[in-house]
Amino acid sequence: MHQYPPNPLDLAAQIASDRPLPPVDRWNPPLCGDIDIRIARNGTWYHEGQPIQRDRLVRLFASILRRDEDGAHYLVTPVEKWRIRVDDAPFLAVRLDSSGTGCDQSLRFTTNVGDIVTADSDHPLTVEYRTPDGQPSPYLLVRDRLRALLSRAVFLEMAELGEERPSATGRDYGVWSQGLFFRLGQLDDER
């Protein structure tokens, strides 16, 4: 029988935080319900309305996080599956390291939970313009269906590395990484 809601410390104790990521994509336990954990747009994790202060606990939870085809996010162990709330993306890209230039450029991002991911065909960069004011929401696919929202500082730093490129609909602005051009947006014809 499952305790509802579970104590996050008990859930965290089931997985060791210093090991490689667990194979959450292969675990198919039944849904146990909802747990009062929320990840805010700025990457802060909350439990019962209070920020989780222990970085190791947040990293541990991040290691057992999964987003299923239904679009919901879950904390998954071999025997339990708990739905949590995510305001936007579960991770936040807080650092950018670049090397090379042009099509030889490589962009490596570090998330707030310690993932280090290079933008490439398996980890594409995308930008959505869905906010009411039309401001960009840039994302990097970290793993499976889990994305990181780029912090404003990281996005601005990345945009400075971009270049214009002609497209069928005008001129695109984007960045190169691992030989791929990632479109950040379209430029107006007016200069």
The residue ranking higher by pLDDT, 4 or 159, is 159
Domain with 52 in it: 8-86
Express as a percent the part of the chain with pLDDT over 70: 87
Confidence of residue 7 (pLDDT cuts 50, 70, 90): low
Are both 133 and 82 inside the same structural domain? no
The residue ranking higher by pLDDT, 191 or 7, is 7
- pLDDT at 30 (0 to 100): 95
pLDDT at 191 over 60: no
Q: Is the distance from CB of 140 to CB of 93 less than 8 angstroms?
A: yes
Mention every residue, 6+ apart, whose C-beta is less than 8 A from residue 112. 43, 91, 92, 93, 94
Q: What are the two backbone dihedrals, phi and then psi, of residue 92, each rounded to the nearest 5 degrees? A: -130, 125
Are both 122 and 144 inside the same structural domain? yes
The whole-number average pLDDT for the span 165-170 is 82
Are both 102 and 175 inside the same structural domain? yes
Cα distances from 68 to residues 8, 27, 146, 165, 179, in angstroms, run: 21, 12, 9, 35, 30
- Summarize pLDDT for 125-160 with one digit per residue, the tens: 999 987 677 788 999 999 999 999 999 999 999 999
pTM for the structure as a whole: 0.85
Last residue of a domain, one of 47, 63, 86: 86
Q: Is residue 1 part of a domain?
A: no
CATH number, domain of 111, equals: 2.30.270.10
Are both 95 and 181 inside the same structural domain? yes
Are both 100 and 81 inside the same structural domain? no
Q: Which of 98, 51, 76, 52 is nearest to 145 (CA)?
A: 76
Count of domains for the chain: 2
pLDDT at 10 over 80: no
Cis peptide before 5 (omega within 30 of 0): yes
- pLDDT at 166 (0 to 100): 84
Are both 39 and 72 inside the same structural domain? yes
Q: Which residues of 175-185 are buried (b: 16+ CB within 10 A; e: fewer)?
A: bbbbeebbebe
Say if residue 50 is exposed, middle or buried (CB neighbours under 10 Å; 0-12, 13-18, 19+).
exposed
The pair of structure tokens assigned to 97 is 């390291």
Confidence of residue 19 (pLDDT cuts 50, 70, 90): low
